Amino acid sequence: MTFWEFEISFYESFMLLGILIVVFLLANVIRRKVGFIRNSLLPTAVIGGILMLVLKILPVFDGILNDADNNHFLEAITYHTLALGFIAIALKTMEKQKSKHRQREIMDAGLVTVNMYLIQGLVGIALTIAFSVLFMKELLPASGLLLPMGFGQGTGQALNFGTMFENNYGFAGGAHFGLSIAAIGFIVACLVGVLHINIMKRRGKIIIKKESPGFVYHEQISSPNEIPLTESVDKFSIQIVLILLVYFITFLFMDGLFRLTGANIVTDLIWGFNFILGTIFAILIKQLFKFFKKINVMTHDYPNNYLLNRISGSLFDFMIISGIAAIEIGVLKSLIAPLVLICVIGSIVTYFYVLKTTRYLFPDYSEEAFLSLFGMLTGTASTGMILLREVDKNFETPAADNLIYQTFYAIAFGFPIMLLIGYAPQGLKQSLITLGILAVMAVGFNIALFQRKIFRKKVRKE
């Protein structure tokens, strides 16, 4: 079954959506009013997801939250909001970074991201190979690759590939294993991030500046070339239509491939890449718009960055709360040991690697760079922004821009990792080969990242 296929009545879906919305609002109240939760910086969506898990334990919600079809519906929300959120981001108009130094910093941030995916993948798959050989024969050796998907990519990708492992390779509980890694990642990002901020404040390495008033100016909401507010169609409606148009094209492409080739591992992998394909088609649509403007067919800029930011933020909020709510705790009983070990070691490795690299690469704003990248590489980009905002309230350092613009480099350099995720689960031999490839790639990308330091030392020795 794909995420396009699930059976649920209108009444059940409406009830489930209603519960999600009420829980989300309740989570927002708790985050604002409960001091220690507010200070933890846990996003409202994560708190809401945890509340949903608590509700699933209560007998009164047995028929709604614990029903298999309803759980598939939550997974479907997670799956689609991931792609829709990425499309919204890809449709934004990006400012060009002209400075060579800034371009280099952005590429370095992208390389840190890819290197962390590789290292998380190495740690995860090495542990699950060892577990499957020594202790748990039923454990899929490649299941550790869900660590970079859950920590590095977030709830949506953890679900996509966890489901693929479950449906195609018999990894019982794969989807919930991936979702649990993602949920733990959010908690690690916020709790470790807050602890780091407090320690660095005591040491005098972080000085919190007073926040300026949070005014939003007209220039931040729209540009002169956009459609006027007095137009017959609402500007917000245009953004929704553009996002849905791109996703419709994405669906037609994936469905066309499925009909041409039939159900196989390749097409299942393509369904898992819905967010990448959506991003590609969004970029192509933007290029088409530029062409139309060049030949004077179009006179206005239709995508609006401010509204697209708001839409993508809302979509990712629903992705997170639905993804955590879809976890079935009972399914994970036999997987607790590898789950805990992977997340603990993965968190330690991620913390120290990001700390070391950011202090070397971004000496002028190392703390801001660390918090933004650590938050993203254990949660999502929004988690990174939440942590960054604690120490750089007005985004005065380049850390926020690095986080946004590094995405292109991360996708370009990290795409081979996605292909390996489709290859590794085929068996123990394939998992070991993948382990070796990841190790070679990690060495290569780290040489690229630290080349200035490495080659400078060689010159000095000569």
The dihedral sign for the CA sequence 5, 67, 182, 26: positive
Give Dmax (Cα) for the chain: 75
Positions of E strands within 32-96? none
Is residue 462 domain-resident? Answer: no
Tell me what pLDDT residue 227 has.
65
Query: 311 lies in a domain?
Result: yes
Backbone phi and psi for residue 121, each to the nearest 5 degrees, phi listed first: -65, -40
60 located within any domain: yes
Distant-in-sequence contacts of 237-243, Cβ < 8 A, 24+ apart:
238/302, 238/304, 239/88, 239/91, 239/303, 239/304, 239/307, 239/308, 239/311, 240/311, 242/91, 242/285, 242/302, 242/303, 243/84, 243/87, 243/88, 243/91, 243/308, 243/311
DSSP string, 267-330: HHHHHHTHHHHHHHHHHHHHHHHHHHHHTTS--SB---HHHHHHHHHHHHHHHHHHHHHT--GG
Look at residue 262 in the predicted model and tell me its pLDDT.
66
User: Which residues in the chain come in under a pLDDT of 70?
Assistant: 1-10, 61-64, 66-69, 94-98, 208-232, 262-269, 272, 331, 394-395, 452-462
Residue 427 confidence (pLDDT): 87
Question: 395: Cβ–Cβ under 8 A, 6 or more apart, which residues?
Answer: 388, 389
Residue 18 placed within a domain: yes
- pLDDT digit string (tens) for 354-386? 999 999 888 888 888 999 899 889 887 777 877
Structural domain boundaries enclosing 98: 10-209+231-453
pLDDT the model gives residue 122: 93
- CA angle at residue 224 from 219 to 225, to 5 degrees? 135
**C-alpha to C-alpha distance for 331 and 388, rounded to whole angstroms:** 36
Distance, CA of 462 to CA of 452 (rounded, Å): 16
> What tokens does 402 get?
């690095």
**Residue 220 falls inside a structural domain:** no
The per-residue pLDDT for 217 is: 45
**Cβ-based burial of 200 (10 A; exposed 0-12, middle 13-18, buried ≥19):** middle
How many domains would you assign to the chain? 1
Between CA 344 and CA 360 the distance in angstroms is: 25
Decide if 402 is inside a domain: yes
DSSP state of 92: S
- Identify whether 277 is part of a domain: yes
Query: Using an 8 Å Cβ cutoff, are 1 and 303 in contact?
Result: no
So what's the pLDDT on residue 7? Answer: 55
Domain assignment present for residue 214? The answer is no
DSSP secondary structure, 111-173, as one string: HHHHHHHHHHHHHHHHHHHHHHHHT-TTS-GGGGGHHIIIIII-HHHHHHHHHHHHHHH--TT
Nearest residue to 321 via CA among 162, 183, 148: 183
